[in-house]
Structure 1
Amino acid sequence: MQLETKRLLLRPIEANDKHAILAYRSDAEANKYQGWIPKSLDDVETFFGKLATEFNVPDTWFQLAVVKKTTNELIGDIGIHFIDEQQVELGYTIAKQHQGLGFATEAAKAIIEYLFCELKKHRITASVDPANVASFVVLEKLGLRKEAHFKESLLINDQWVDDVIYALLAKEWKMID
């Protein structure tokens, strides 16, 4: 599975992406809202080992690399959790130097379009830390709505944190320009 947008190529993560992923994912400040911050290449390789190798398999996570077409640089990744046959959860990470430039919105828009229009999924959700305002902006631009705010429902780094859930139904999806 591979998608292309105006500025990006979205393709499956490959073993040789591990150095780039470690570089942007290990930045604890830039990734403070992430549940996973690798400290070594071994951590990245362990993460790779937990990912599905086949796209669209229920109860698996599939990771796509976000590659900037003009430079062929890996600038982030998007995780797709195929919850079941009809529901999907999205998560995204963009390298700090590329944040705020619309890359997360552009990549997520292409994924959402593919999931709804090609795979005929019914519902897409996203789980967000309540302090991650930038992520709220991305999701709301794409038409997702806030559905829930769960208090101290996730244990991340030995700390109970809140979780905000955004969602969108296929019948609500409209291409965003």
Structure 2
Amino acid sequence: MELSTGRLRLKEFSWEDEQAVHAYASDSLVVEHMLWGPNSAEETQDYLRQVIQKQEHVPRTAYDFAVVLQETGQLIGGCGLFLEGYRQAELGYCFNRSFWGQGYATEAAKALVRMGFHELGLHRIYATCRPGNIGSAKVMQKLGMRYEGHFREHRWHKGSWRDSYQYSILAREFETEGEIGNDETRN
């Protein structure tokens, strides 16, 4: 499975991606707000092993893609859609910090939101971020997601209780707001 946008290709992860994934997954600044990391080499290998195994699950419940630049083929991050319950999914993304602030996370996430609603028939897609992760909150807002709430100290995160912001978008909002452009295609 593969998705394409104007600048990006979202492809299934493979073992050839290990070095590029580890470059961002081991960066303490990149994972500062994540519930995992920074990864050791073994943790990155475990992650890839799990992702590759989940590609074969039937029915599939995890769509975790490597995000690659169309022009160069360079892997710059990951973006995933994780099905939960009935017709709902969580959206997540993580990018090499050399590529922050260039709209890549929004572009990749838009492709997954479109896939979730149009191809998987989802009703609701949500995402969370730590309050200090302003860039991630901006991505969710650009996707047309609505702020749902501030969960106080609900996650044990790297040695302390942490808050989260939660955003979501419904299928009917996606259709009516026109937030998601038409530049995504599936191969």
Segments of structure 1 that go 5 or more residues without pairing to the other structure are: none
1:107-146 equivalences under 5 Å are 107-146=108-147
Deviation track 1:9-55 (CA, whole Å, cap 9, x = no partner) reads 00111111111111112110132111122432211111223332247
CA contact (8 A) 2:129 2:164 kept: yes
Which structure exhibits the higher relative contact order, with contacts defined as CA atoms closer than 8 Å and separated by 6 or more residues?
Answer: 2
Residues 1:37 and 2:37 aligned together: yes
Instruction: Tell me the secondary structure at the aligned position of residue 27 of structure 1.
Output: coil
- TM-score of the two chains, using structure 2 as the length reference: 0.87
Report the AA paired with residue 134 of structure 2: V
CA contact (8 A) 1:19 1:41 kept: no
CA contact (8 A) 2:33 2:133 kept: yes
Deviation track 1:53-88 (CA, whole Å, cap 9, x = no partner) reads 247846x44310000011100000012211134001
Task: Find the aligned partners of 1:159 and 1:57 in 2 and give their Cα distance.
Answer: 36
Report the AA paired with residue 75 of structure 2: L
1:63-142 equivalences under 5 Å are 63-142=64-143
Segments of structure 2 that go 5 or more residues without pairing to the other structure are: 182-187
CA contact (8 A) 1:38 1:44 kept: no
Question: Which residue does the alignment assign to 2:161?
Answer: 160
Question: Which residue does the alignment assign to 2:7?
Answer: 7
Task: Find the aligned partners of 1:123 and 1:113 in 2 and give their Cα distance.
Answer: 12
Per mean C-alpha deviation after superposition, the further-off stretch among 122-131 and 79-88 is: 79-88
Deviation track 1:94-142 (CA, whole Å, cap 9, x = no partner) reads 1101000000011011111111112111000001111111111111111
Question: Which residue does the alignment assign to 1:23?
Answer: 23
1:175 to 1:146, Cα distance in 2 relative to 1, 3 A: closer
- TM-score of the two chains, using structure 1 as the length reference: 0.92
Question: Which residue does the alignment assign to 2:180?
Answer: 176
Report the AA paired with residue 113 of structure 1: R
- Aligned pair count? 176
